[in-house]
Chains A and B, each alone.
Chain A
């Protein structure tokens, strides 16, 4: 099932249409977002993934209402909210630096949104207690926020943003400031919190692993554009762009020329004359020079007697417990990495040896 198929049977929470944002004017103008089209579905954990400066935070700030778009529109559950100020959008944000109010206690921070909405005191108290329990901070209710650890502050920020029960929760790299171990446990906590509350989460990160583990769907962004939208498996197994393939995980990229196509399959002749068949997917390049990509774990060592797809000279062996990476220099002059589960026979696989590699044909992709 691809990302677009999911979109057909569920309703969109946030719809973004030809959204552009330019900062500055004239020759100093910087285009942060360039005609972005996007549908984020109800109850979805959606991630905007990309390197810094790709426009993911700008997109988030536009959805929150902190910035106004130069062009295009944003709608929330089929209601146009493009010109609405942030305080009139039922959308809350978890800020990167948490932005907790230092002059309020933890409980006052969490109740702030409901207080501003003018809800009755009893309801505010009840919701605040429920939120404190949700993020396991009951004991901290009366503390000032500067007396909390980073992870606790993170939880307060989360509880504060969830308390008014927003339609959509925006999270701007909320885990960036935490150490690795805490980050891992918060990833799981966030994911289960999303499932529990059923609120649509829009999560911004530059960490591909974080995106893969947490998201229902991911949009990979670069230079103000969305390159690919899909489930983590779509993005990982079926990348459509060289940038996407390269940004997420390790990948072998080989140059070649399309000889002929047959439906989704293309026969590509590599530089050393080897022919491989690769999936075209949504790639527009159906002839001429293309790049084909395959993950290191989808290449295996040829056993004796097997005809290898490609051969190369072994240059390096990198062992890291669960797997071993074998770096080959192919006849084409390109490098290829084979990820072999577990260790390899060190007597047989020595630097300088000629090695045969078998590429699983169904996992070779043609990139844009």
Chain B
């Protein structure tokens, strides 16, 4: 019993020590937390608040609670009898955007995987040169690069001139201001985001596993799908997410290459803050987009966990 006193004194001292440590930690974290709060959480908060307000006549918002913005996303209010009629306009813009972003992700994967594999199998000292070339376009502004792409694919662009000179086509292919143009533009803009994570996982790949695959009667295709792809899966998933998410919210590419005729989510949202002067609806659309992205990430996390529990 006598041993109890000093023991509880020791426990109290340890507790005191921990408390001091917590306080110190909080002070040290404070600047970083403040910045994160100011540049990330606060604007998001403002967006959430705005999405529940009423649009002002000349832009901005009037402080009057309303859920109209969310209703407007799916329904149109009849001007005469105030009934709600399903309106597919915005949903179809979302679906179009998802379709284009998925297509661009798939396209980037098909182009990016071989590229990453090519770099990963080069001698170590050459890899950095190739990686540098992959990231080189990032040194130029996206807007400028998109204009350059516009010059390449327009009716009098390099592609059409070459094809016509070669006699393959007689009149120029209309690529610019179509979905194809947006698709090409998205792949071009986000390809490095696909290549880099896949490269990172292929670089760690033990190529004796590939040899083991060949040794155990797998041909090239089987080795690719039974050995290389499963082992590069983390990189592939990361690459797909990194292309799909910015692709979904792309603004410049559909604006310039799609001619602004067919909207993607990004353009639609921008329009609400500009010409349409409906800030609450723009905020609501942005939040719906965000919810969509979070859903994708959640599904991915869920699939990853299930995969891990299956293996373990």
Contacts and interface: CB of A to CB of B under 8 A. Distances in A.
Contacts of B40: none
Contact of A103 (B212, B217, B219, B311): B311
A260 interface: no
19 contacts: A66-B214, A66-B215, A85-B214, A86-B211, A86-B215, A87-B214, A87-B216, A87-B218, A87-B219, A92-B215, A95-B212, A97-B206, A99-B212, A101-B212, A101-B227, A113-B216, A116-B216, A144-B311, A161-B216
A128 to B, nearest CB: 13
A295 interface: no
Contacts of A161: 215-216
B222 interface: yes
B114 interface: no
Interface of A: 64-66, 85-88, 91-93, 95, 97, 99-103, 105, 112-113, 116-117, 144, 160-161, 164
Contacts of A88: 217
B209 interface: yes
Contacts of A66: 211, 214-215
B214 A160 contact: no
Interface of B: 206, 208-209, 211-219, 222, 226-227, 230-231, 311-312
A113 B219 CA distance: 11
B312 to A, nearest CB: 7
Contacts of A160: 216
A58 to B, nearest CB: 14
Nearest to A86: B214
Contacts of B230: 103
B161 to A, nearest CB: 42
B133 to A, nearest CB: 27
A64 B212 contact: no
Contacts of B231: 102-103
B206 A116 contact: no
Given A93-B212, A93-B215, A101-B209, 17 more contacts: A66-B215, A85-B219, A86-B215, A87-B217, A88-B217, A97-B206, A99-B209, A101-B212, A101-B227, A105-B311, A112-B213, A112-B226, A116-B217, A116-B218, A117-B217, A160-B216, A164-B216
A116 B312 contact: no
Interface centre among B213, B230, B312 (most CB of A within 10 A): B213
Contacts of B211: 66, 86, 93, 95, 99
Contact of B216 (A85, A102, A105, A112): A112
Interface centre among A95, A101, A113, A161 (most CB of B within 10 A): A101
Contacts of B219: 85, 87
Interface centre among A99, A102, A105 (most CB of B within 10 A): A99
Contact of B215 (A87, A100, A102, A105): A87
Nearest to B208: A99
A161 B211 CA distance: 13
Nearest to A117: B217
Interface centre among A64, A85, A95, A161 (most CB of B within 10 A): A95
B66 to A, nearest CB: 52
Nearest to A97: B208
Closest 4 CB pairs of A and B: A113-B216, A99-B212, A116-B217, A99-B208
A95 B215 CA distance: 10
Contacts of B213: 112, 116
A113 B217 contact: yes
A164 B227 contact: no
A19 B311 CA distance: 44
A92 B208 contact: no
B304 to A, nearest CB: 13
A102 to B, nearest CB: 7
Nearest to A112: B216
Contacts of A85: 214, 219
Nearest to B307: A103
Nearest to A113: B216
Contacts of B209: 99, 101-102
Contacts of B311: 103, 105, 144
A118 B119 CA distance: 32
Contact of B226 (A86, A116, A117, A144): A116
B37 to A, nearest CB: 41
A102 B212 CA distance: 12
A144 B227 contact: no
A105 B222 CA distance: 18
A113 B218 CA distance: 8
Contacts of B227: 101
Interface centre among A64, A65, A102, A116 (most CB of B within 10 A): A116
Contacts of A117: 217
A105 B230 CA distance: 13
B42 to A, nearest CB: 43
Given A66-B211, A86-B211, A144 B312 contact: yes
A105 B310 CA distance: 10
A357 B218 CA distance: 62
A97 B208 CA distance: 8
Nearest to A111: B216
A95 B208 CA distance: 8
A87 B231 CA distance: 20
A103 B231 CA distance: 7
A66 B213 CA distance: 11
Contacts of A116: 213, 216-218, 222, 226
A158 to B, nearest CB: 13
Nearest to B311: A144
A339 to B, nearest CB: 42
